[in-house]
Amino acid sequence: MVDTAKVLEVRNLQVNLRTADGSVPLLEPIHFELEKGRVFGLVGESGSGKTVTCNALLHMLDQRRMEVTGSIRLNGRELSSLSNEEMRRIRGKEIGFIMQNPMNAFTPVFTIGSQFIETLRTHTQMTKAQAKEQAITALTEMNLPEPAKLMKRYPFQLSGGMLQRVMIAISMCLRPAVVIADEPTTALDVVNQLKVLQELDRLRTEYGTAILLISHDLGVISQMADEVAVMQKGRIVEQAGVHQLFDQPQHEYTRMLLHARPRMSLGR
Ligand SMILES: Nc1ncnc2c1ncn2[C@@H]1O[C@H](COP(=O)(O)OP(=O)(O)OP(=O)(O)O)[C@@H](O)[C@H]1O
């Protein structure tokens, strides 16, 4: 049976952009919860605030330009007041992430292998040899060809989709309580989309990871998510269990999104 403990509780999360003419709201106060072993889907048109939400949760917004307020509790621990250094220890190990622009998550001047091994060693007691072995195993599981060679490559030598799969492989090794996946399949072909979704599902079922899944693909959301929130202009306009949301959408914007979905996407 799934333990439905709350892993991440987000309350009144709000983001304002500071401009010369004053403050512009990018995210109105939003609230949601992630539960152990469950997938929470976030949908909405481009520019609705999904990526800003992820980056606010991860403390990855530019603090000089963005003001973030509200409460983010990870297993009961308040994250919003943590220093950047403290958050660095939490990112990766306790909250894994797969970015929409994965190039930003890697340092360009170090190889994939050295960054993978360094990440594992920062968060665990592994020796270098153990970390290398784990990294190669995880890359193999992610369907990445010639993992040993891939470890010697630099981020710019990999496609966005490959880098996303490297990020999932890191999460497979560190088994964080929460994984934030921002459009994890957008850059992938159909075969690798399926592989990535299967691996995310494995994180959830095998390790009880709670997943925040952002996708514009309602087929992916309907297959993966337990609960779904619909965002429009920086607000959550509707939130419901996946079946209810797809079968009985309440908000006009949700109905419009469902109506607009391409017939080719995986239907329910
Ligand atoms: N660094 C930034 N500086 C200024 N405005 C920003 C910045 N990042 C995002 N925004 C603005 O915040 C709003 C929400 O953007 P966000 O990237 O979160 O949308 P999204 O829902 O993730 O869209 P997409 O599906 O295209 O990624 C947009 O109006 C965007 O222009």
Using only C-alpha atoms, the chain has a radius of gyration, in whole angstroms, of 18
Residue 26 in contact with ligand 1 by CB distance below 6 A: yes
For residue 50, report the distance from its CA to the centre of ligand 1, in Å: 8
Residue 51 in contact with ligand 1 by CB distance below 6 A: yes
- Summarize pLDDT for 37-84 with one digit per residue, the tens: 999 999 998 899 999 999 999 999 998 999 999 999 999 999 999 999
pLDDT at 4: 56
The pLDDT confidence band at residue 92, using thresholds 50, 70 and 90, is: confident
What predicted TM-score, i.e. pTM, was given to this entire model? 0.89
Q: Which atom of ligand 1 approaches the CA of 54 most closely?
A: 18
Dihedral, CA of residue 119, residue 122, residue 125 and residue 131, to nearest 10: 20
pLDDT at 264: 45
- Summarize pLDDT for 119-159 with one digit per residue, the tens: 999 989 999 999 999 999 999 988 888 999 999 999 999 98
pLDDT at 262: 64
Computed over every residue of the chain, the mean pLDDT equals 90
Average pLDDT over residues 230-253: 95
Q: Which atom of ligand 1 approaches the CA of 49 most closely?
A: 18
SS3 label, residue 103: helix
Task: Tell me what percent of the chain is helix, strand and coil, each rounded to the nearest 5.
Answer: 40, 25, 30
- Summarize pLDDT for 196-225 with one digit per residue, the tens: 888 889 889 989 999 999 998 888 999 999
Residue of 48, 101, 253 best suited for mutating to test ligand 1, as the one with most atoms within 8 Å of CB: 48
The pLDDT confidence band at residue 260, using thresholds 50, 70 and 90, is: confident
Tell me whether residue 155 is exposed, middle or buried, using C-beta atoms within 10 angstroms of its C-beta: 0 to 12, 13 to 18, 19 or more.
Answer: buried
For residue 185, report the distance from its CA to the centre of ligand 1, in Å: 19
Residue 17 in contact with ligand 1 by CB distance below 6 A: yes
Residue 241 in contact with ligand 1 by CB distance below 6 A: no
Which residue's CA is the nearest one to ligand 1's atom 30? Answer: 47
Average pLDDT over residues 240-260: 92
- DSSP strand pairing (210-214 vs 178-182): parallel
Residue of 30, 42, 52 best suited for mutating to test ligand 1, as the one with most atoms within 8 Å of CB: 52
Residue 44 in contact with ligand 1 by CB distance below 6 A: yes
72-86, 161-175, 233-247: which has the minimum mean pLDDT?
161-175
Residue 48 in contact with ligand 1 by CB distance below 6 A: yes
Q: Are 40 and 227 in contact, with CB atoms under 8 Å apart?
A: yes
The pLDDT confidence band at residue 263, using thresholds 50, 70 and 90, is: low
pLDDT at 266: 42
Residue 268 has pLDDT above 80, yes or no: no
pLDDT at 102: 78
Distance, in Å, from the CA atom of 234 to the CA atom of 42, rounded to the nearest integer, reads 12
Distance, in Å, from the CA atom of 243 to the CA atom of 92, rounded to the nearest integer, reads 31
Distance, in Å, from the CA atom of 114 to the CA atom of 112, rounded to the nearest integer, reads 6
Q: Which fold has domain 6-101+177-260?
A: Rossmann fold (3.40.50)
Residue 95 has pLDDT above 90, yes or no: yes
